[in-house]
Amino acid sequence: MSQDLPDFDLSAFLPYRLSVAAQRTSAGLAQAYRDRHGISGPEWRVLVHLSDSGEVSVGDLGARVNLEKSKVSRATTRLADDGLISKTVNETDRRLVSLALTERGRALMAELLPLAIAYQARLEAALGPHLAALNAALTRLEAETP
């Protein structure tokens, strides 16, 4: 016996639309840092958060970049192997590890952040007078969703 399904319009489903919009708006910038430096999306998130926050514990970073622990682990291992970030083990509790950009990582971000700033400016120009409403709506969604 077949179950009747409720009417559902995926193209109007807000979580789907937000996901598609996020993917499309970040694709251009992601292509630039991937092509120029071989940086993945999770690696970009780690680098940009470290450039914004300075030294951060691995646990804090996972929450800040909104990635699964395994993706954060792979990204930080690769970035450390490439000399872009340093990992410092806490002397009193060896389970705690802090991450920070190295000089090489800072040099890379000095090159990548202007690309991100220019990309942001293009998105803002494309949104024009709708930008303030979008920012307000996103702030509200971020505050009200678990």
**pLDDT single digits (tens) 122-131:** 999 999 999 9
Residue 81: inside a domain = yes
Q: What is the mean pLDDT of residues 14-39?
A: 91
Residue owning tokens 């958060």: 49
Number of Cα atoms under 13 Å in the Cβ half of residue 118: 8
| pLDDT of amino acid 80 | 96
- Domain of residue 62: give its range: 32-144
Residue owning tokens 């940009």: 48
> Whole-angstrom Cα distance, residue 140 to residue 51?
26
Residue 123: inside a domain = yes
Using the predicted structure, report yes or no on whether residue 146 has a pLDDT greater than 70: no
Could you tell me if 78 and 87 are in contact, meaning their C-beta atoms sit under 8 angstroms apart? no
Interacting residues of 49 by C-beta distance below 8 A, sequence separation 6+: 56, 61, 64, 65
Residue 60: inside a domain = yes
Using the predicted structure, report yes or no on whether residue 8 has a pLDDT greater than 80: yes
Residue 58: inside a domain = yes
| Model pTM score | 0.83
Q: What is the mean pLDDT of residues 18-37?
A: 90
Using the predicted structure, report yes or no on whether residue 93 has a pLDDT greater than 80: no
Task: For residue 107, give the CATH number of its domain.
Answer: 1.10.10.10
Residue 36: inside a domain = yes
Q: Which two tokens stand for residue 36?
A: 């120029």
Using the predicted structure, report yes or no on whether residue 54 has a pLDDT greater than 80: yes
Residue 16: inside a domain = no
Structure-model confidence comparison of residues 27 and 94, the more confident one: 27
Residue owning tokens 């970009």: 44
Residue 22: inside a domain = no
| Share of residues in the chain with pLDDT > 70 (%) | 97
| pLDDT of amino acid 104 | 97
| pLDDT of amino acid 1 | 67
| pLDDT of amino acid 55 | 86
Residue 44: inside a domain = yes
How many folded domains does the chain comprise?
1
